Structure 1
C-alpha cells in the first residue's frame, strides 16, 4: 500500500505561509507554497519545467516565482510566462498548480485527480476555531508510514503500557470498545471509563478537585486518510467538566515517513490561562514516546520485508482492540485500488 491521492492533506499551518517560499514534500512530490499579494495561497510543483531545479530556491517577483537557475518565471497557475534567453516561452511550458483551501489553522492541498477537489471539500474542523474552543499545537516528522499512525491512535489500549501516568488511578486496563461505527470512508469508536479519581495531569489542566470521582468518555475517528480526531471528556455529576480534542493531520512524505500536525483543543469552565502550555507539554511528551515506538515498528516492517527474500511475508495476529484500525486500513486500501483502476 502507498497512499490515496484523491484526498485533502495538510500542506502547512496558515502562519507558516507568507510572502516567502515554503517547500514541502507531500506524497512523494515536492511542492512550493507562497501567499499572493491578495492573501490567498498558491501551491506549485517545486520543480522548474526547464530543468529539475527547485522553484523554492528562487524568489518571488510580485505573485510570480522566478527560478534561481535560468530565470524562468511562473505565474500562480503554474504557467511559464518568461524565459530570459528567448522572446516567448515554449508552447505549453508549465508546472502543476494544486488546489488549496485555508480552513482553521491549516492550509489544505489536493494532490489528486485535477478537478476532483470541487467534488470533495476538506473535512470540517469546527472545534479548531470558535464556540468556546481554544487550541495550541506543534508539528513533527515521524519516520513511519501514515497508516501505522492511524492504527496506533485507533487503539489506545497501548496507553496503559506506554503512558501509565495518563491512566486514571485504579484502572488496570481500558474497558473494551463499546461501539465501532463504520461508513464507506470513515471509522469511529466510543469507550466509556468507570468513575475514578483524577490522574495528576487531569488535575493540572482541569482545575477540578482531586478528591472527587469522575467518569470519562473517549472517542476516536478516522475522518479521512489525512485526518484523525480523538476526544476525551471528563464528566462530573452535572455533566462535562473538561472537553479535549486531539487532532492529528497526517500528511505522507513518502511510504516510510509522515509529517504530523498535532492540535490540542479544549474548553472547560475551571481551566486556567496556562492550560494550553500545560496540555501541549503533556501531549508532546506522549507524542515523543509514540513516535519512537512507531519508528521502531517501521524499521521492523522494513527489516521483515528485506529478510523475506522471496519467502512468504511474516504474518501478525489481530486482537479485538484492532477492529477500528483494521477497518481504516481496508478503507485506505480500497481507495488506493480504486485510483489504480482495480
Structure 2
C-alpha cells in the first residue's frame, strides 16, 4: 500500500546528471512510476513514462532520433509529448497510441517532476530554494539511495537529538544536551522548528569550514523544516556579536522509489565572512560520512519494521514534536488521495 503522496513535486535528478548523459536517456523510478528523462534540442527537459504503448518495454532501452524516442523492441517512435508518431510495420500509428508525459521544472541544481494527478502540477509549484541559486551561496551535492521509507527519513531529520549518539564529533565543545525546541510551527502542509544553542567554542569541523577563530565562542541557531513530502531543509547559523557569521543549509530532496526505498538528493550550501577556500571539500567529506551513518540506521529501522510480524506501538518523546506533526501531514495527504 502506498505510504507517500503522489500529488507532489519530487526531485528526479540534478542538472549535472542530465548534462552527463548528453543525448542518452536518464531512467528513474519515482513514486512507483518508471520515468525516462532526456534533454531536447531547445535545452528543455522531457519526461515520459518509461514504457512503450505497444508492449511493456522500457523506452530508455531504445535510442533517440533528435527529439524523438525510438523503442528498442518494435521501433515505435514517440515525440516529447508522448504521442506515437511512427510504427514501422504500418503506415499510420494506431489511434490513441501514446505514453504519459510528465511536467518538469528545472530550478537551480534540481530537476523536479510531477507524476501525480494530471493537471495538478499547475496548482502547486515546486518549493522555492533561493539558497541554491547563488547570491553569495556556494553548494556541493551528492545522490544517495536509501532502503527505507520516505517517512522514516523525514522523522529522522526532524529530530537531531540523535547527534550525541550518532555524530558526537559534530557537537560544539561543552554542549552536553540540545535545548528543547523553542518553537514548532505547523501549517496545513509544512512543519518547522527552531532551536537556539548556548555560546560555545567551535567544533573542529565548524572551524575548518567557516574560517572563524576557534578560540572564540559563538551562538548557534538551528531550524529544520518539512517543506513538502519531497523536500527537507536544515539551516545551521553560527552567530557572533553582530549577527550571523557563517550560514549552512542542508537540503534533502527526498524522492520515493517504492514504499521501502528512497532516493536522497543532498545539497550542502554555505556562506560566511571568512569561509575557508576548501570549505566545499571539507563540508562534502563531513556530511558524506554523516549520511553514511544516517543511512545505516534508517535501513536498520526499516528492516526491523519489516521483521515485526505484529505491528508495535512505539512511544514518542518531547523531541518528536515536529516529526509527529510531519507524520500526520503525510498520512493525511495519502488518505486524501485514496479518498479521491
TM-score (norm 2): 0.98
CA–CA distance in 1 between the matches of 2:87 and 2:41? 23
- Find the partner of 1:320 among 315, 318, 321: 318
Q: Is the 8 A contact 2:246 2:271 kept in 1?
A: yes
Give yes or no for the alignment of 1:7 onto 2:11. Answer: no
| Structure 2 counterpart of 1:124 | 128
| Structure 1 counterpart of 2:262 | 258
Instruction: Provide the alpha-carbon RMSD of the alignment.
Output: 0.8
**Offset of 1:29 from its aligned partner?**
1.1
CA–CA distance in 1 between the matches of 2:312 and 2:334? 23
- Find the partner of 2:88 among 84, 101, 106: 84
Give yes or no for the alignment of 1:330 onto 2:334. Answer: no
CA–CA distance in 1 between the matches of 2:277 and 2:27? 35
CA–CA distance in 2 between the matches of 1:110 and 1:134? 27
Runs of 5+ in structure 2 lacking a partner? none
CA–CA distance in 2 between the matches of 1:130 and 1:105? 11
Q: Is the 8 A contact 2:33 2:115 kept in 1?
A: no
CA–CA distance in 2 between the matches of 1:229 and 1:27? 21
* SS of equivalent residue, structure 1 residue 291: helix
- Find the partner of 1:217 among 218, 221, 224: 221
TM-score (norm 1): 0.97
| Structure 1 counterpart of 2:168 | 164
- Find the partner of 1:268 among 269, 272, 282: 272
**Offset of 1:19 from its aligned partner?**
2.1
What are the residue-to-residue correspondences of 1:1-342 with 2, within 5 Å?
2-17=3-18, 18-304=22-308, 307-308=309-310, 313-341=311-339
**Offset of 1:341 from its aligned partner?**
1.2
CA–CA distance in 2 between the matches of 1:330 and 1:204? 39
CA–CA distance in 1 between the matches of 2:16 and 2:96? 34
**Offset of 1:62 from its aligned partner?**
1.1
CA–CA distance in 2 between the matches of 1:273 and 1:92? 57
CA–CA distance in 2 between the matches of 1:328 and 1:271? 34
**Offset of 1:2 from its aligned partner?**
1.4
CA–CA distance in 1 between the matches of 2:122 and 2:161? 38
Structure 1 runs (4+) greater than 3 angstroms displaced: none
CA–CA distance in 2 between the matches of 1:262 and 1:75? 32
CA–CA distance in 1 between the matches of 2:80 and 2:23? 13
* SS of equivalent residue, structure 1 residue 218: strand
CA–CA distance in 2 between the matches of 1:120 and 1:294? 30
